[in-house]
Structure 1
Amino acid sequence: MPASRLDISLPFCGGLHIVLTTKIEVVNINGIKFHFCHLPLFLPLALALRTSGETVKKRMKPTTQDLEKDSAQVSSALVRGLEILRSFTPHDLSLGNQELIDRTGLPKATVSRMTATLVNLGYLDYDEMLGRYRIGPATIALGYSGLSANVVVHIAMPLMRKLAEKTGVAVAMGLREQQEMVYIANARSENPVSLRLNVGSRLPIWKTAMGLSYYAGMEESQREALLERMLQCEPEHAERILRLTNHALDDYARDGFVVSCGDWYSYINAVGVPFRPTDGTQLVAITCGGITDIAPRGVCYGEIGPALKELAAELQERLLGNSREAP
C-alpha cells in the first residue's frame, strides 16, 4: 500500500473522536476508512472511551421553568422552541418526535406545536418519508453569521494551528452555554494520533479543562451562581464538582492556566486558559488536549500550559492591533 496520511475518526459520546493515522487502509460498507498499522495499539483506548461515555439525555434542567420564574419578560414559547433546536448535536443527522421529547422533557403536544412552527420558519426541515427533523437553513445561516462575525476566532485560528503543530495536541476555543461549553473553533496537528471535537460539540463544564478554565476566569458572582446551578442539577456529583472547581481556582491562581488530568475521560489530559478580549466581547476558553501518552501530566504543566498562556497573550496583542487599525 502507498505510504500516505490516512485517518480513521472514531466517534464517541459528546462528539469526542479519536483520529488514528497510518498507511494501511480498509473501507467498510459505510465508506468508513480503517487503518491497521496503529489500530491494535489504541483499540483498548477506543473501546474504553466508547463504553465509558454518557448517553445523550436531557439537557441539564431546570431551564424553561426557571426562566419563567426569573423574569416576567421571558417568552416561554420562545424558550421551548430554542430547547428544541438545542437538542440537536453535531452528530445527529435527524431526530424524531420521541427523541426531542426525551431530550427536552417537554410534553408531546408542545413538541409537535414547536416543531411545526420551526419548520414553517425554516429553522427545521421535516422529512415526511422518515418522519424526522433536521436542522434547517435558517438555523445554519444564524450559526454561520455568528461565527463569521467573531473577530476573536478569525485572529486566533493561525495561532491555534501553530500551537497544535508545536505541541502535537488538539487546540480549541469554546463558549459557555448554560452548564456546558460549546466548541466554536478547533485546530489539530498532524500527529499520528489526535483527538478531535467538531465545532458545535458540547462539553460539561465541571470536568473538562475548557469548562474549568472558563469557570476560573468568570467574575466571582457569576462563578458562584454557576456553581450553585451545577450542584443543583447534579447533586450526585457534588463532592467531585467542588473538588475539581476548587482545584481549577488553585491552578489558575498559581500558574495562570488550569490542568485537567483524566477528569473527563481517564485517557485524556488537557490544559485550558480563560481569555477575555479587551474589546469587551464575551469570555472564552482556549484549550490544548490529547491522550495521556502525548500529553502526560508533567508536559501539561511544564510545556503546554506556558505555551497556551503565550498564545493568549499574543492573541490579546493582535486584537489590540486590529482595533487600532479599524477605521
Structure 2
Amino acid sequence: MEERNRSASLRRALTVLDHVRAHPGLTLTQLAEAVGLSKSTVLRLTAPLIEAGLLDRDRDSGLYRLGHGALRLGQAYLDTLDLRAVAAEESHRLMAEVGETVHLVVPDHPHVVYIDKVENEASVRMASRIGSRGPVHCTAVGKAILAWQPAELLTGLVLEPRTRHTITDVERLRAELAQIRRRGYAVDDRENEPEVRCVAAPIFDHQDAVAAAVSVSGLTSRITAARVRELGPLVAAAAARISSKLGSTTR
C-alpha cells in the first residue's frame, strides 16, 4: 500500500511539473485548480521538486516556473542523442511499411550528405552510398531542408540541370519550396536521376530548426506519381516522430 501511495504521489508530482512546463508563471491557486488538487497537496508535491531545482517559485510573486535542474536534465538528454541512432527505429519502420529504400541526410549547403540508408533487400538497390553528397536543389531531401531555411540561401545557388526534369529557374524553385512548406513533404520527380522518384520530409531538432531529412526512394516503375501522394504523409509522419525524439515541438 505504501509503495502504491508513493507511485501515485510521483505521478501527481510529474503532472504538476509538466503543467508548469507548459504553463509557466502560475500562482499556487491557479496551479492547484489546473491539475485538480488542493493547494496543500500541490505545496507538498512541489517542495521536493524545488529542492531538486526542477521547479522554482518566485519569493515575491509566488509564481511557479521550471528551475535550473530542468535545464541540466534537458542538456544531459540532448548530449546523449545521436541522429542516426534516434532515427534508426523509424527508418526501419518506414522501410517495412512502404517497401522502398529509406535515406537519412544532413545539410552541407549547397549539398546534403547521406548519413544512413535502410534498403529493402527484395527491391532494386539504390546506388546511393553513406557519406556521399547530393545537390540540395534537385533532391527531395535537399528541397525538404531548403524549404525551412532562410530565403537568402537561394541567392547564388547554382541550379545545375541533372536531368531534363530538374528545376533550373530560381522563381520556380521558390514556388516549389512554398508548396513543400504547405504540404509538409518534398518530391524529387526524376530531377536528380532520370528513373528515380523520391519523397522526403524535414527533421527538426530541439530548437525547432531543420537539422536533417528522411526520404523514401525508388524506381519510377515502383513509385508512380499516384503513389507519391500516398507516400508523402507516411514520410512526413516518420519525420515528425524522429523530430519529437530530438526534442522538437514542431507539429
- Residues 185-196 of structure 1 correspond to what in structure 2 (within 5 A)? 185-196=116-127
SS of residue matched to 2:125: strand
Q: Which residue of 1 aligns with 2:102?
A: 171
Q: Determine the structure 2 residue equivalent to 1:91.
A: none
Deviation at 1:281, TM superposition (A): 7.1
Q: 1:265 aligns with which of 173, 189, 193?
A: 193
Equivalent position SS for 1:284? strand
Q: Is the 8 A contact 1:213 1:258 kept in 2?
A: yes
Q: Given that residues 173 and 285 in structure 1 are in contact (C-alpha distance below 8 angstroms), is that contact kept between their aligned partners in structure 2?
A: yes
Note the aligned Cα RMSD (angstroms): 2.9
Q: 1:284, CA displacement in angstroms?
A: 1.0
Aligned pair partner of 1:316 in 218, 222, 243: 243
Q: Residue 222 of structure 2 corresponds to which residue in structure 1? A: 294
Range that drifts further, 278-287 or 180-189: 278-287
For residue 252 of structure 1, what is the aligned residue in structure 2? 180
- 8 Å CA contact retained: 1:171, 1:187: yes
Match of 1:49 in 2: none
Q: For 1:163-197, what per-residue CA distance to the aligned partner results, in whole angstroms no more than 9, with x for missing partners?
A: 11211211111122231111111111133313142
Cα gap change, 1:158 to 1:258, in 2 (>3 Å): same
Give the SS at the match of 2:126. strand
> For residues 243 and 279 of structure 1, do their structure 2 counterparts lie closer, same or farther at Cα, with a shift above 3 Å needed?
closer
CA distance 1:244–1:205, change in 2 (3 Å): farther
Q: Would you say how many aligned residue pairs link Structure 1 and Structure 2?
A: 167
| Matched residue type, 1:168 | G
Letter in 2 for 1:299: R
Give the 3 Å change call, closer, same or farther, for CA 207–262 of structure 1 in structure 2.
same
CA distance in 2 between partners of 1:234 and 1:318 (Å): 35
CA distance in 1 between partners of 2:235 and 2:160 (Å): 31
The runs of 5 or more residues in structure 2 that have no matched partner are 1-78
One of 143, 160, 166 as aligned partner of 1:212: 143
* Aligned counterparts of 2:225 and 2:81: Cα–Cα separation in 1: 33
Q: Normalised by the size of structure 2, how large is the TM-score?
A: 0.59
Q: How does 1:98-137 map to 2 (within 5 A)?
A: none
Q: What is the alpha-carbon distance in structure 1 between the residues aligned to residue 142 and residue 172 of structure 2?
A: 11
- Letter of the 1:157 counterpart: A
| Structure 1: segments with no counterpart, 5+ residues | 1-147, 322-327
TM score, norm. by length of structure 1: 0.46
Verify the 8 A CA contact 1:164 1:187 in the aligned structure 2. Answer: yes
